[in-house]
A = this chain, B = another copy of it.
Amino acid sequence: MRTHQLVLHWIESRLSEGQLTVGGRLPAERTLAEQLRVSRTSVREAIRILEAMGVVRAGVGSGPEAGTVVISDPTAALGSALRLHVATQHLPVADIVETRVLLESWAVAKASPDAPELEEAATLLDGMARQDLGVSDFLALDVRFHLALADAAGNAVVSAMMGSLRESIQGYAAQLTANLPDWEATASRLRVEHHEILAAVRNDDGARAAKLVAAHIEGYYKEAGLGSGHTEQGRP
Contact = CB atoms under 8 A, between A and B. Distances in A.
A41 B45 CA distance: 9
A74 B44 CA distance: 24
Count of chain copies: 2
A114 to B, nearest CB: 18
A53 B22 contact: no
Contact of A91 (B80, B84, B156): B156
Interface in A76-91: 77-78, 80-85, 87-91
Given A48-B48, A53-B52, A96-B157, A22 B77 contact: no
B53 A84 contact: yes
Given A48-B4, A53-B80, A155-B99, A21 B74 contact: no
Given A52-B49, A99-B161, A161-B161, A84 B15 contact: yes
Contact of A16 (B21, B87, B102): B87
A72 interface: yes
A92 B4 CA distance: 27
A51 to B, nearest CB: 8
A91 B160 contact: yes
A157 B99 contact: yes
7 contacts: A15-B88, A45-B48, A72-B90, A74-B85, A78-B78, A78-B81, A98-B155
Nearest to A165: B157
A157 B160 CA distance: 14
A4 B49 CA distance: 11
Contacts of A160: 85, 91
5 A-B pairs with the lowest CB-CB distances in the bound complex, closest first:
A72-B90, A77-B81, A15-B87, A74-B85, A16-B87
